[in-house]
Amino acid sequence: MDQVLYLSNPSGLKYYQKDFTRIYFGQEFCEKLLPSKDDLEKLGAFSERAGVPLTLVTPYVTDKGLLSLEKLIEFFAEKMPKAEIVFNDWGVFQFTEENFPELKPVLGRLLNKQKRGPRITNIIEQVPKETRDYYRGASLDVSVIAGFLKKKKIFRAEFDNLLQGLDMSGLDKEIKRSLYLPYLFISTTRFCLTANCDVGDTRVGVMPCHHECQKYTFNLNNPVMKRTLIRKGNTIFAINENIPEIVSRGEVDRIVIQPEIPI
C-alpha cells in the first residue's frame, strides 16, 4: 500500500516522514494557485534526496490558465520525463498526451463523477440496495468509460472517501485506485466568494484575487447537512477520517494523506 503525502505548498514538507512512498505536489482547484517553477524544482530536489517519486497535481483551467499550466508541465516533464501527472481537466490531459506522452496520466478526483452531496447521508439507509450502490459508486464502473481510459493509457484514478460509504465492486480492476484522506471535496467553482472577502465590499461577483484563501477558512453549518462543511477559497470540503472497508479488502492500493486543506 502506497502512502502519499499531498502538498499544495513547499512549507508542507514539514509533514514528511519516511513512511511516505510518494509525494503529490500541486493544486487541484484553482489556476491562480499554481506552484512556481522554483517551488516545483524545490520539491523535485527533495524527492530525489528522499528517494521517493513526485507526482504533479493540476487543476481545471481556463484558456488563460492553460497557457500558464502548459509551461509548468513542460518544465516538469523536462525534469522528470516519466513521472505521474494528475489531471482534473480533459484539456490538460490532451495537451499532455500530445506533447509529453511519457508522462503517466492519472484521472483526478474531480473527473470521476462520485456523488458527493452531504445530504445523501440523510437518506442512504432508507433507499433500496441498488440505489445505495449507485450513490456509493463512480462513473468508472461503466465499461465504456473504463475502456476509454485504458485506450488513453490512464491506469490510475483518484477517489474521495465519501460520507455515505464506497462501493468499488464494479470498477475495472486494471485501473488502480487512490483514496484521499481526510479531506473530501464537495463542490468547486470559479466563482470564489473568498476573493475580496476582507475589504468591506458587499458586491457579489468574480472579484480580483489577492489569495485571500491563504488567510481565511470558513466553517459552514446547516442542520440539513448534519456536519460542518469547510469553505476554502473556491471549494467546499468535508472531513471524513473513517477508514472504509475497501482499504482492508485491498480495493485501493494508494492512500493520499492531506495534512492540510489542499488549497
Kindly report, residue by residue over 194-204, the tens digit of the pLDDT: 888 887 766 66
Tell me which long-range contacts 203-210 makes (C-beta under 8 A, separation of at least 24).
209/32
Q: What is the pLDDT of residue 201?
A: 66
Q: What is the pLDDT of residue 226?
A: 84
Cell of 221: 453549518
Q: What is the pLDDT of residue 21?
A: 97
Q: What is the pLDDT of residue 105?
A: 98
List strands edge to edge, sheet with 183-188.
183-188, 235-239, 229-232, 218-220
Residue 136 lies in a domain: yes
Domain count of the fold of the chain? 1
Cell of 234: 473556491
Residue 42 lies in a domain: yes
Residue 225 lies in a domain: no
Residue 200 lies in a domain: no
Q: What is the pLDDT of residue 254?
A: 98
Average pLDDT, the chain: 94
Residue 116 lies in a domain: yes
Residue 246 lies in a domain: yes
Q: What is the pLDDT of residue 191?
A: 85
Q: What is the pLDDT of residue 196?
A: 81
Main-chain dihedrals φ then ψ at residue 133, nearest 5 degrees = -60, -40
CATH number of the domain encompassing residue 68: 3.20.20.190
Residues with pLDDT less than 70, the chain: 201-205
Structural domain boundaries enclosing 162: 2-181+241-257
**Which residues have CB under 8 Å from 56's CB, separation 6+?**
25, 26, 40, 72, 73, 76, 83, 84, 85, 86
Residue 218 lies in a domain: no
| H or E stretch at 57 | strand 54-57
Residue 263 lies in a domain: no
| pTM for this model (two decimals) | 0.94
232 neighbors 217 (Cβ within 8 angstroms): yes
